[in-house]
Structure 1
Amino acid sequence: MIDVQRLRVLRTVAEHGSFNRAAAALHLTPSAVSQHIAALERSLGAQIVARSTRGVTLTPAGRIMVGAAESVAAELVHAKQQVDQLGSGLTQLTIATFTSGGRLLLPGALAHLTAAHPDTVVHVREAEPEHSLPLVRQGAVDVALAYHFDGPLPGQLGPSSSLAWTALIEDPLHVVLPDVHPLAGREALDIAELAAEPWVLGCLKTEAYLRRYAERAGFEPDVRSTTTDYFFARSLVAAGLGVSLIPSIAQTPQVAGVRTIPISPPTPVRHIGVATILRRDHPQVMTLVQALRGEVAALDAKTWATQPIQPRSYVRD
């Protein structure tokens, strides 16, 4: 029998990358953490962590067990929620979302959800993917509306993960220019044409993405202004402080004095989707995912670059 506490210790070791840091997070001694891991390895008959002077890393068996540990922890949280709800007759559903995607897709989807399940109490939390996906794994939220760029999802979603990812839409990034800019009349722009421009950005992750694309185009972007709000970034562009790189779904509400222009292929995109726990039969979650699909399907095809929705789950063998 695998001890649940030892799985919790393993999850914490995987999160922190060392016995010492895991021990501090768990309020244990490093020796106690090491003993828990050693006992788990004995019960499995396999090595689950590789120890070195630089810390510890997971073995293939360790990655499988961390995925199992995430599933167990989330299911225990879910079971506790169900027990708490027995007396009230109400179902609690917690959704995490990033701002621009939530603003565009969630209101209509939630209206459909609450009409289909009137006894469901909905909670919405704003969170970026690097925060919302761990919350799904932990069982703290049921659904995360999230995104990633051309790299993997935060948290290394993969074969040993406890998460399922359902792709919803590809959200292209566009250049935003002052409407008096010499290039504002173009139908499309190569990002290399903007090498000499000052940049205004509305998201730190967008900045990292811009720098990768700029490096491919052979220049270092001159980032003059950074914000955490795409509307504010577009307002700064309208004021003449520079140009910006903005996802399509963050182009509303409109800002006077700017022009939005597509980027010539290869076009940078955000991949938007829904993260849920694998192998959980949750009618409200299924209804919400279907409603989000409906919201995507209703988008104006001339404005939004949509792709056929292909649910993609990462299931262990």
Structure 2
Amino acid sequence: MIDVQRLRVLTEVARHGSFSKAAAALLLTPSAVSQQIAALERTVGTEVVLRGARGVTLTDAGRLLVEAGETISAELRHTEAALTRLASGVDTITVATFSTGGRHLLPRALARLAAEHPNVEITVVEREPEDSIPLVRSGSADLALVYEFDKPLPLEKVTLLPVMSDPMSLVLRRDHPLAKRKSLSLNDVADDRWVFGCSKTSAFLHGYAADSGFSLRVSASTTDYFFAQALVEAGVGIALIPLVALRESADLVAIPVERPRPTRRIGVVVAPRARRRAPVVTLVNALRSAT
């Protein structure tokens, strides 16, 4: 029989790419990690890792075992949480969310959850989609509010339920020469200086500029759309901002980008096992009807 602890050790080796880093994460010695992997290989009758000068990589068998280990760990976390709920009589929900989506959608949805399930304790953690989906997959979060932009999200073992489209607008100062236009193309502002509010927006705009034959002039790069708009307000540059992050200001205007308009797709990611829980169903439904 395959030992669950050895699967956990293999998962950490795969995550870190070395025995020594996995050992540090597990609070073991590298020798102990090596022995656990060797014992696992004896059990399954084949190599699970390849040791090389640049670190450790998984074999095909190793990848299958890591996938199985992640599934088992998620189910154990789910069972432990259910046992805790039975013992304490207190239900809990953990929600992972990206910042702007959380501000726009979560307050009303959580209010509905609290009204329909007053004994549920709610924890909200802020994460970008690429970090929140693994939390759902592992059972560390019950659901995640996420977005897709120019690349699809990895959705193995989870389900993405659509919530809303989140189209982008150009945010300019009201005294900008183009501020009275009903719509703008990105080429219309090719000579402007830019303020970025997100690394993904930055990557998209750099790619668009390269395809269109011009270079972006960047004034500032941030990781916060609200701060980016404050910089636009101060005259630092212009910005590309999604609908859910637009802030009201007498000094700013938001002008739709002409087709093909860049648009984020916001959704809820949930694992099949979590969709059986009534509070999770309530929150998912609340989020999908919040727009």
Summarize deviations over 1:84-136 as a string: whole Å, max 9, x none. Answer: 23333121111121221111111222222223222212222222224323333
Residue type at the aligned position of 1:170: S
Instruction: Determine if the alignment matches structure 1 residue 285 to structure 2 residue 277.
Output: no
> Aligned to 2:289, what secondary structure does the other structure show?
helix
Number of residues of Structure 1 aligned to a counterpart in Structure 2 = 290
Q: Does 1:99 align with 2:94?
A: no
- Which of 221, 244, 248 is matched with 2:243 structurally? 248
Distance 1:166 1:41 in 2: 39
* Other-structure match for 1:69: 69
Unaligned runs of 5+ in 1: 300-317
Question: Partners in 1 of 2:86 and 2:99 — Cα distance?
Answer: 33
Letter in 2 for 1:142: D
- Alpha-carbon spacing, 1:66–1:149, altered in 2? closer, same or farther (3 Å): farther
Is 1:139 the counterpart of 2:139? The answer is yes
- Quote the Cα distance in structure 2 between the aligned partners of 1:167 and 1:60: 34
Q: 1:88 to 1:228 in 2, by over 3 A?
A: same
The equivalent residue for 1:217 is 212
Cα deviation for residue 59 of structure 1 reads 4.4
| Shift, 1:216, TM fit | 2.0
**Of 174, 184, 187, which aligns to 1:189?**
184
Partners of 2:56 and 2:125 lie apart in 1 by 33
Mapping for residues 134-283 of structure 1, pairs under 5 Å: 134-153=134-153, 157-158=154-155, 161-251=156-246, 253-280=247-274, 281-283=276-278
Distance 2:213 2:42 in 1: 53
Please state how far the C-alpha of 1:146 moved relative to its aligned partner: 1.7
CA contact (8 A) 1:188 1:264 kept: yes
Name the aligned partner's letter for residue 115 of structure 1: A
Deviation at 1:5, TM superposition (A): 0.8
Task: Say if 1:218 and 1:79 are closer, same or farther in 2 by CA, change over 3 A.
Answer: same
Gaps of 5+ in 2: none
Matched letter for residue 111 of structure 1: A
- The answer (yes or no) to whether the contact 1:70–1:162 under 8 Å persists in 2 is no
Compute the displacement of 1:15 (Å): 1.6
Question: 2-side partners of 1:19 and 1:162: how far apart?
Answer: 27
- Separation in structure 2 between the aligned mates of residue 292 and residue 286 of structure 1, nearest angstrom: 10
* CA-atom RMSD in angstroms: 2.4
Q: 1: CA distance between counterparts of 2:259 and 2:50?
A: 43
Length-normalised TM-score, structure 1: 0.81
> Structure 2-normalised TM-score?
0.88
User: Residues 202 and 228 of structure 1 are in contact (CA less than 8 Å); yes or no, is this contact kept in structure 2?
Assistant: yes
Q: Which deviates more, 71-80 or 284-293?
A: 71-80
Rounded to whole Å, the distance in 1 between the matches of 2:98 and 2:25 is 27
Q: Secondary structure at the match of 2:82?
A: helix
CA distance change for structure 1 residues 107 and 261 in 2, over 3 Å: closer, same or farther? Answer: same
Find the aligned partners of 2:280 and 2:238 in 1 and give their Cα distance.
39
**Cα gap change, 1:32/1:271 in structure 2, threshold over 3 Å: closer, same or farther?**
farther
Worse-superposed segment, 54-63 or 204-213: 54-63
Identity %, equivalent residues: 52
Q: Is the 8 A contact 1:234 1:255 kept in 2?
A: no
**Structure with the larger helix share:** 2
Determine the C-alpha separation between the residues in 2 that align with 1:27 and 1:77: 21
CA distance in 1, matches of 2:61, 2:259: 41
**Are 1:7 and 2:7 an aligned pair?**
yes
Moved more, 32-41 or 229-238: 32-41
- Amino acid corresponding to residue 273 of structure 2 in structure 1: R
| Runs of 4+ in structure 1 over 6 Å off | none
**TM-aligned CA distance change 1:27 to 1:114, over 3 Å:** same
- The answer as to whether partners of 2:51 and 2:57 remain within 8 angstroms in 1 is yes
**More displaced 10-residue stretch of structure 1: 5-14 or 202-211:** 202-211
Which residue pairs with 2:80 in the alignment? 80
